[in-house]
Structure 1
Amino acid sequence: MWNGRFDSDDVDDLRLWQIIKEFNENESQNGIVFTGYNTDDGIIRNLGRKGAVDGSNAIRKACSSLPYIKSFGDIFDTGNIDKYKLEDAQKDLAGRTSLAITLNCLPINLGGGHDIAFGTFSGIRDAFPDKTIGIINFDAHLDMRCYKEQPTSGTMFKQILDTDDNVNYMIIGYQDMGNTLRLRNLAQEKGVVISKVGEPFDVINNKLNDFLENCDLIYTTFCMDAFDITEAPGVSAPSSVGLEKRVAIQIFKNIIMSGKLKAVDFAEVNPTLDNDNRTARLVSNFIYKILENRGA
């Protein structure tokens, strides 16, 4: 799953693909742990465009040739979850996420549909049963739809907020045109902190700082449809006017530097629609920010 440019085996020439280790719970401590969430079952249920099932390997490919620096520490990979049904995949992901956190590692989960979020969150909650978890969602959509019929890639944050009272939710890159009045009213009722697409950096950052103060730990999730279609074409529901990537990268750096980040995931990367691998390459920029700044 990991391969890329080869310069040499000298320490100054190393790239990520050369140092990735297979996850072993007896050896994996204080590192970063990748897991692939290989299902777009939730997207299909949500009537989206299929293809994100292969997103995790596309992200790995985009990250493989990134330069490695010793300060990054150890990086592990648990492989891909092979359970395609949404509920089964979420349960497996929750277990892997919880284990990684227990070993003092940072899970980076790669999707797949945005229903990945329920699996990641469940693993965090298992590891931290009494902590106030802050969810920061880079997304155009609230993803708080009704799940009476069945869960999808658009229901998970309602599922979380309905069943857990010790959670705060912030969305960055929100767009009115992607959310019905019912969803907006529900978000207001649940106290969701909303940062709309186009807000100046200072405004977003002030909201973020207030949000961080009220949380014990942070889980950040990226639905790549938050970004403009010119920067992220390979998604289920592309945005014609999306979040500006440089603003998002700086905001994400501030989240990392808070010292509260405990898990990250990236969703909706669809390589069948991804012109020149732009979406996967954009994800690699966010992942490199984690590597650069996690220990700072």
Structure 2
Amino acid sequence: MNSLDLPLYSPAPEWTGRDDGPGPEHARWHSVVTPATADTRDAVVLLGYATDEGVLRNDGRQGAAAGPEALRSALGGLAVHDDRARHDAGTIATVGDNLEESQEEVSRRVAELIEQNNLVILLGGGHETAFASHRGLYRGLGEKSAPIVNLDAHFDLREAERPTSGTPFKQIADLVGDGFDYSVFGISAANNTRVLFETARDLDVRVVTDVELASLTPEEAGAAAVEACIDADAVHLSIDLDVLPASVAPGVSAPAGLGVALERIHAMAVAVARTGKLRLVDVVELNPSYDADSRTAKTAARLINDIVAALPR
């Protein structure tokens, strides 16, 4: 393989944001995030995955590869109210069409971080991120799977000759076999074919549609998400920003015609974080090219911020 076809790694960038003064009383993300090292443990670690080759293969609109940079920018100025260690492990990029190679590199790095008892937050990138990150979690836990709570308008259970942004959870099912435990909240019936619902049924997937979520209070939605992983020791939370209404999240690969209200998505994400079982988070499908006033990036950053804030001390 030509060296130019290998996954490209970039170290953690310099974080920037509003500076109100020195000391923890003025802390913001940009002032507390430090580069991760081989010794980083028991911390929150961000890892970027600049990829949208899977989106291209899935006939989506490209631009998600710029997601990690936009997410860091939106996070940088948010205020920090705790002393939890936050680190940045840099960014892995898909170069050309080398998706499979970059996914392997993401899996390797996630596994190393999980072995050090870190909470890993993947900044995507297309939803092909989820297979790479979950495989890393699986390896880091000693080839043990963990329940997945996916907040998403799509199942992403497609069968395809090559991995795409539409195949990650079917790939995970093939990887872990009987250990596959998948719950998806926000499914749009209008945007998922009958065969995808049949695949979900065959794999015993817990499914809650966008319409069903609309009938729940945020508290009830949060309780439903927790119930999906109540017996787990470790949990993988995947947030596809296209689950949100297009008015809230216009900058995604596939904007939602209906979507799930932000209050419910926020409640579910925070409720899962409060369990203390969260080991892996993906935030995916941010497409800055279509993001009016950085609306989607700011929403995603707030979700990440509040997930970290909700972690048990």
TM-score, length of structure 1 as denominator length = 0.95
Map 1:55-70; keep pairs closer than 5 Å: 55-70=67-82
Q: For residues 254-273 of structure 1, what are the structure 2 equivalents within 5 Å?
A: 254-273=271-290
* Cα-to-partner distance string for 1:1-35 (whole Å, 9 max, x where unaligned): 42111111222112111121111112x12111111
How many residue pairs were aligned? 293
- Pairwise mapping of residues 37-56 of structure 1 onto structure 2 (< 5 A)? 37-56=49-68
Where does residue 255 of structure 2 map in the other structure? 238
Query: 1:174-193 counterparts in 2 under 5 A?
Result: 174-193=187-206
Q: Distance in 2 between matches of 1:187 and 1:261?
A: 24
Matched, 1:170 2:198: no
Structure 2 unmatched runs, 5+:
1-12
CA spacing shift, 1:5–1:45, aligned 2, 3 Å: same
Amino acid across the alignment from 2:88: D
Distance 1:291 1:204 in 2: 19
Cα distance change on mapping 1:22 and 1:166 into 2, 3 Å: same
Alignment match, 1:142: 155
Inter-partner Cα distance in structure 2 for 1:218 and 1:65: 28
Report deviation, 1:292: 1.1
Q: Is the 8 A contact 1:52 1:270 kept in 2?
A: yes
Please report the RMSD computed on the Cα atoms of aligned residues, expressed in angstroms: 1.5
| Residues 195 and 204, structure 1, Cα contact 8 Å, conserved in 2 | no
3-state SS of the aligned residue for 2:229?
A: helix
The AA in structure 2 aligned to 1:96 is R
Of 74, 83, 105 in structure 1, the residue corresponding to residue 94 of structure 2 is 83
Local SS of the residue matching 2:113: helix
Once the two structures are TM-superposed, the CA of residue 205 in structure 1 deviates from its matched residue by 4.2
Structure 1 residues 65, 206: CA separation in 2 closer, same or farther (over 3 Å shift)?
closer
**Identity, % of aligned positions:** 32
1:192 maps to amino acid: V
- Give the Cα–Cα distance (whole angstroms) in 1 for the partners of residues 227 and 85 of structure 2: 32
- C-alpha distance in 2 between matches for 1:248 and 1:82: 28
SS in structure 1 at match of 2:148: strand
Instruction: Give the alignment partner of residue 118 of structure 1, picking from 125, 128, 131.
Output: 131
Separation in structure 2 between the aligned mates of residue 48 and residue 13 of structure 1, nearest angstrom: 41
The yes-or-no answer on 1:152 pairing with 2:152 is no
2:3 aligns to what? none
Within 2, Cα distance between the matches of 1:210 and 1:97? 26
Q: How big is the shift at 1:181? A: 0.4
Q: Give runs of aligned pairs for residues 201-220 of structure 1, distance below 5 A.
A: 201=217, 204-220=221-237
Distance in 1 of aligned mates of 2:275 and 2:53: 34
Deviation at 1:206, TM superposition (A): 5.0
* 3-state secondary structure, aligned to 1:213: coil
Moved over 4 A (4+): none
Report the Cα distance in structure 2 between the residues aligned to 1:256 and 1:218, rounded to whole angstroms. 9
1:231-256 per-residue CA deviation (whole Å, 9 max, x = no partner) reads 00001110021011111111111101
Q: Match of 2:5?
A: none
State the SS of the aligned residue for 1:262: strand
Superposition TM-score, scaled by structure 2 size: 0.90
The aligned residue for residue 224 of structure 1 is: 241
